[in-house]
Amino acid sequence: MIVNLHKMRTVLSKEVEYYFSFENGDYFVNNWLEKIVEIEFQNEINCIHCGRKTKKSFFQGYCYPCFIKLPQTDECILHPEKCMAHKGISRDMEWSEKNCLTDHVVYLSNTGTIKVGVTRETQVPTRWIDQGASQAIQVAQTPNRHIAGLIEVDLKQYFKDKTQWQKMLKTGNDTESDLAYFKSMAVDKLNPDLKEYLVASDEIVQVNYPIVKSPDKVKSFNLDKVSYYKGKLVGIKGQYLIFEDGMVFNVRKHGGYKVKLIL
């Protein structure tokens, strides 16, 4: 089948369920495990928002005009503390009212290392799955994206804020840490002016991924450089397909790429 890639839809279950949703239907990607998968780039990229052809993809799937004008590609998506929607400043206030001026969660997650992050409350646990977290705990809940960003910036002094994807993929489902302890550390360190937003519950969400075998070494391939790949699928974690030879494919990074998938 020839399709334009989009990030996989996920469902938190005993083992995360992964789905490709294409125009011709949904595909349960977990069923592809231990099968040979071929990915062939068709030398075409279509913007995941407007559909126009683009020679280069920006922000994981957008054409340049959409990248510079859409609210979902604005600076505050990567830097929540810079969100100005609470002051009435946005590329699209209607969008921001639904996505920025709504409850946000600051969390700690275990992706092989302990990291701090921010997501909309409605994106829990999707955000944790997309980053490949094996565990996550809520630290704070805020009424908007900006305040959540301020808390994240404060805690970035003590915790990483980026996923180390190689380590995340190599740890498989075997990584476990005392997130309640790290949360208590975060609570102690947090600026007192921000402590009113702390979440009392220490519930830890555990996430298990469909992995037959975790690779000892990983190497990602990019369709801009490698237009064809064939290998046995042995795992899915985050938004990565993991193959038996240690090659991994970041589906989300290739949003809008037209490919032929052969099973």
8 Å CB contact between 234 and 213: yes
Nearest of 212, 62, 204 to residue 137 by alpha carbon: 204
Amino acid identity for residue 112 in this structure: G
Residue-wise pLDDT tens digits, 61-70: 999 999 999 9
Residue 125, preceding peptide bond in cis (omega within 30° of 0): yes
Helical (H) or strand (E) element with 180: helix 179-189
Give this prediction's pTM: 0.95
pLDDT at 175 over 80: no
* Residues β-bridged to residue 206: 135
Distance separating alpha carbons of residues 174 and 214, to the nearest angstrom: 10
> What's the mean pLDDT in 80-104?
98
Residue 3, Ramachandran bin (φ over 0: left; ψ between -120 and 50: alpha; else beta)? beta
Distance separating alpha carbons of residues 258 and 31, to the nearest angstrom: 22
**Confidence bin at 24 (pLDDT 50/70/90):** confident
Residue-wise pLDDT tens digits, 216-261: 899 999 999 999 999 999 999 999 999 999 999 999 999 999 999 9
Q: Which residue has the tokens 């302890």?
A: 181
Instruction: Give how far Cα 49 sits from Cα of 6, 64, 79, 237, Å.
Output: 11, 11, 22, 25
- Indicate the angle between helix axes 145-155 and 179-189, nearest 10 degrees: 100
Helix (H, G, I), strand (E, B) or coil at 164: coil
> What's the mean pLDDT in 42-46?
98
Q: Which residue has the tokens 């977990």?
A: 30
pLDDT at 18 over 90: yes
Give, as one character, the DSSP assignment of residue 176. Answer: -
